[in-house]
């Protein structure tokens, strides 16, 4: 084997080992790498009031109620839902049917008390006219 060959195999071998190691570490840490839990995951995990976490999902249509600075709404993953209460300023993209992430903890009454609300936006970009035309012709894709 020429030295070049040897160096090439050494390089490929080390990279493969490193790749496998990285994959194993990431798989083991999977639960810590997710940014938020869905209402279904929250129900499965039975997280207590002392535990702070992020809850993500869609704002359920027709669920938003505003009383002064306090906002109440429901987050859904279309399987399970969870009621949320929040006091403060909402991001511009917050609306019904929109993906949001709330950070806070579950109250004793089972309502999620959010301390911060972030809006998610999806990967679709289009001018307003196109969005309007899609909605009118009924081709608007339902968000997951």
Partner 1 sequence: MADLHFLANPARFRRFSQRVLPGLGFATVLMLAVGVYMAFFVAPQDYQQGNTVRIMFVHVPSAWLSMGGYAMLAVLGASLLVWRHPLAALMARAAAPVGASFAAVCLLTGSLWGRPMWGTYWVWDARLTSMLLLFFLYLGHIALSRAYDSPERGDRAAAILALIGVINLPIIKFSVDWWNTLHQPASITRLDAPAIHNSILVPLLWMAVSLLFLFVWLVLLRTETEIDRRRLENAEAAS
Which residues of the chain form contacts with partner 1 (CB under 8 A)? 4, 7-8, 11, 14-15, 18-19, 22, 26, 30, 33-36, 38, 56, 90-93, 101, 116-132
Taking the complex as a whole, how short is the minimal distance between the CB of residue 73 and partner 1, in angstroms?
15
Taking the complex as a whole, how short is the minimal distance between the CB of residue 52 and partner 1, in angstroms?
14
Taking the complex as a whole, how short is the minimal distance between the CB of residue 45 and partner 1, in angstroms?
15
Alpha carbon distance 19, 70 (integer Å): 48
**Measured from the CB atom, is 66 or 95 closer to partner 1?**
95
**Measured from the CB atom, is 56 or 74 closer to partner 1?**
56
**Measured from the CB atom, is 7 or 51 closer to partner 1?**
7
Taking the complex as a whole, how short is the minimal distance between the CB of residue 29 and partner 1, in angstroms?
10
**Measured from the CB atom, is 70 or 130 closer to partner 1?**
130
Phi/psi at 27 (nearest 5 deg)?
A: -65, -40
DSSP 13-57: HHHHHHHHHHHHHHHHTHHHH-S-B-HHHHHHHT--TT--EEEEE
**Residue 75 CB: number of other CB atoms within 10 A?**
25
- Expressed in angstroms, the distance from the first to the final Cα of the chain is 55
């Amino acid at each position: 084997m020429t030295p070049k060959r040897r160096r090439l195999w050494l390089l490929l071998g080390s990279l493969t080992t490193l790749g496998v190691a990285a994959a194993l570490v990431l798989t083991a840490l999977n639960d810590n790498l997710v940014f938020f839990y869905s209402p279904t995951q929250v129900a499965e995990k039975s997280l207590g009031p002392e535990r702070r976490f992020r809850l993500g999902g869609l704002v359920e249509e027709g669920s938003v109620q505003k009383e002064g600075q306090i906002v109440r709404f429901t987050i859904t993953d279309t399987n399970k839902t969870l009621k949320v209460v929040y006091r403060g300023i909402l991001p511009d993209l917050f609306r019904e049917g929109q993906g949001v992430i709330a950070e806070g903890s579950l109250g004793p009454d089972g309502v999620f008390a959010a301390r911060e609300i972030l809006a998610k936006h999806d990967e679709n970009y289009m001018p307003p006219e196109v969005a309007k035309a899609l909605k009118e012709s009924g081709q608007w894709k339902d968000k997951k």
